[in-house]
Structures are given as structure tokens and as C-alpha cells.
Amino acid sequence: MTELTERQKTLLLLIVRDHIESAQPVGSKRLVEHYRLNLSPATIRNEMAALTEMGYLRQPHVSAGRVPTEAGYRYFVSQMMEQAVLPETVQRTISHQFHQSGADINQWMTLAASILAHQSQGVSVVTAPHIEQVKFKHVELISTQGRQVLMVLVLVGGEVNQQILTLAEPVSQERLSQTAARLNALLAGLTLDAMTALPARSDALDQDILTLILQDIRRSAERVSGEIYTDGLSNVLAEPEFTETEEARRTLKLFGEPATLKELLDRTAASGNVGGLQVLIGGEGMWEELRQCSMVIARYGVPGLATGTLGVLGPMRMSYARTIPTVRFMAGLLSDLVNDTISGE
């Protein structure tokens, strides 16, 4: 494949940019007028023909303007990747929002999904951090009435689970407190594996509670990894590519189903590393339904301890210039938050 000349490069970028804005095929005349190029439409046509030949552009029909191919978008994105940074002021605003929200994973995820969707004008998807190494921190047993006991379990990472237990017989608050104190001393900082390997306790109540703690931690590890947060479906409803054909409407429906989104994210993000950004254009052949769409995905968190995925879905025509820096910044921000929560306490 021959190299692109300097002029072809700028032209290609302009064409993609224009098409992203206008959602319409861009013609030679429009291009000249709109961007005040010191060239005649005829020259542009020649260059466009060359770019079409090389596979960066294509014409929907012979007498329409040009539309970027996947390769065209990919070139455009490769340019974005290098430079695009979120403006300082926006960065500060976002950070601020996070710091004045509560220290609650649920809130963080909702906020992240909301900001991503708003900034990118696409559909955002965020998965809660998957805790790969759960560590015990603290347990509290609070007698309520009769045989019912409220167990509050604190894990390293700030996660707090509460659960109501019903014991075989009433137990005094004093004895509950003693049991909690013994278990706290025994389990402090242990991982799930280490706790599972412990020998059975001699005290029956201790053993019962220990079993329940293990159950709870196992469930929690699974549950948190499964939760998904999404936002911004309405952003994409108005986009012209989704209102027309039946096929497009099926794609749209897919966007509205969190379970499907999660699978999408999991499969594609599996290969990515924390810190890296993946941009999938036109589904990259893997997803038939996403032929018209693009995804910008990143993993965040602390590798080996707790990681999650976040991303934006939109039409292939999405605003990469806004989406890419936002996803990158949010991944960094969430990584910091996870890091603080895990190590900071």
C-alpha cells in the first residue's frame, strides 16, 4: 500500500470530521466551501478518488459524496489517540463531582456512567470493579430481637455487606461481641483462600458465624463482578442511523439490555490491559449486530486485585474526539479511586 501524501491526510481527516458532524455523505464542493481550502473542487475530486481507491472512503451510490470506510475511521481514530486530552476545566469538574459524592461504589458507578454518557453523547457501560482478591477486614454482630442477628461484614476495599441471620437459639449481645472479637483477631487481613484453609473452630457459635462469613464473601465476590451500570440510551435514540432500518432498530434494542451489554464488554475487554484504550470500529467482524457501531473501551482498577471495565457505545459516526479522552480520563480516575479504597485504609 502506498503512503498517503500530506494533503491526502488532512483531507481524509476533514472528511471524517465533517461526516461525523453532518451525518451525510460529503462532496467535493461542500468540502471546499466549508473549510476554505485554496483548491478547486476538481482537485479534491482527484484526491478523493485516490482515497477511495486506497480503501479509506466509499460512495453510497455513484452520485453521492464520500463516506468513510472502517479503515477511514480507524485512521481518524489513530490521530485522536495521540493528541486528544480532556480540557483541564472539565477534568476538574468531574473530579469534583466524584469527591463530593459519598464513598459508595454504587454511587461511583452510577456517576461514572452518567458522566460518560453525557460527555460522549453515546451509551455508556460501566462494570463494578471485580474484586479478584477479597480480604477480610472486620465483622460486627448486633443482636436485634429474639434469635435475629444483624451481621455487618466489612471487606478491605470499603465494601460493607449486611445480612440478617436467624440463629437456632437466642444469644446474648455479650456473647455475640466476644465471638466477633475472636473472629476479628483471627481473620484480620486474610484472603478468601486463607480463610477457607483454616481449621474448624472449637466453639460452635464461632464456627457457625465463620461459615456464614465465608458464604457471604463468596457471594459478594460474584455479585459485585456482575453488576453493570449504563446510561445515555436516549442520547442515541435520535441519531439518524438508528431510526431507519429494521436492522438498526434491533441494534438499538440490544443497547437497552444490560445483560447483553455486559457480555459485549466482557468479551471484548478481556484482552485489554488496565491503562490501555481499545477502539472497536464496526464491531471488527466479531459482532454481526454491531456492524454500524463503534465501542471505546478501557479497563480500570488495580491489576490482580480489583479491575472493572468501562466504555461507550455509539454509531460508527460517534464523536471520537470527545469520547476517547473522556473514557481515558474516567478510567484513570476510577483506577485512582479503587487504589485509594484498597490501600488507603
Q: How far is the CB of 34 from DNA (least distance, A)?
A: 11
62 contact choice in DNA, its own copies, none (CB below 5 to 8 Å, kind-dependent) = DNA
Long-range contacts of 232-237 (CB under 8 A, 24+ apart): 232/113, 232/114, 232/116, 232/117, 232/118, 232/120, 232/121, 232/122, 232/123, 232/124, 233/123, 235/117, 235/121, 235/122, 235/123, 235/314, 236/121, 236/122, 236/123, 236/313, 236/314, 236/315
Letters for 52-91 (x = contact with its own copies by CB under 8 A, - = none) are ----------------------------------------
The residue (of 22 and 211) whose beta carbon lies closer to DNA is 22
Smaller CB distance to DNA: residue 27 or 314?
Answer: 27
Q: How far is CA 39 from CA 35, 42, 44, 62, 80, in A?
A: 11, 8, 7, 23, 26
Which member of 93, 237, 267, 303 binds its own copies (CB under 8 A)?
Answer: 237
Residue 304 binds what, of DNA, its own copies, none (CB under 5 to 8 Å, by partner type)? Answer: none
CB of 243 to DNA, least distance (A): 14
Choose between 164 and 198: whose C-beta lies nearer to its own copies: 164
Is 172 a binding residue for its own copies by CB under 8 A? The answer is no
Task: Kindly state whether residue 38 participates in binding DNA, applying the rule CB under 7 A.
Answer: yes
212 part of the interface to its own copies, by CB under 8 A:
no
Question: Does 252 participate in binding its own copies (rule CB under 8 A)?
Answer: yes
28 lies in the binding site for DNA (CB under 7 A): yes
For position 39 contacting DNA by CB under 7 A, the verdict is: yes
Nearest to 159 by CA among 229, 217, 228: 217
Report the side by side order of strands in the sheet with 148-155: 136-145, 148-155, 160-166
Residue 243 binds: one of DNA, its own copies, none (C-beta under 5 to 8 A by kind): its own copies
Determine the size of the site formed for its own copies (CB under 8 A).
Answer: 31
C-alpha cell at 139: 465483622
| 40 in contact with DNA (CB under 7 A) | yes
**Nine cell digits for residue 25:** 455523505
Q: For residue 260, count other CB atoms closer than 10 A to its CB.
A: 13
Query: Pick from 85, 67, 86, 91: which is nearest to 12 by CA?
Result: 67
Specify whether the backbone of 164 is left (phi greater than 0), alpha (psi in -120 to 50) or beta: beta
Identify the burial level of 273 via C-beta atoms within 10 angstroms of its C-beta, where 0-12 means exposed, 13-18 middle and 19 or more buried: exposed
* Residue that has been written with the C-alpha cell 484513570 in this structure: 332
Rule CB under 7 A: choose which of 6, 36, 62, 82 binds DNA. Answer: 62
Which range touches its own copies (CB under 8 A), out of 7-15, 147-155, 294-302, 314-322? 147-155
The yes or no reply on residue 292 touching its own copies (CB under 8 A) is no
Q: Which residues bind its own copies (CB under 8 A)?
A: 102-104, 106, 138, 140, 142, 144-145, 148, 150, 152, 154, 158, 160, 162-164, 233-234, 237-238, 243, 249, 252-257, 345
Q: Which residues bind DNA (CB under 7 A)?
A: 25, 27-30, 38-43, 45-46, 48-49, 52, 59, 61-66
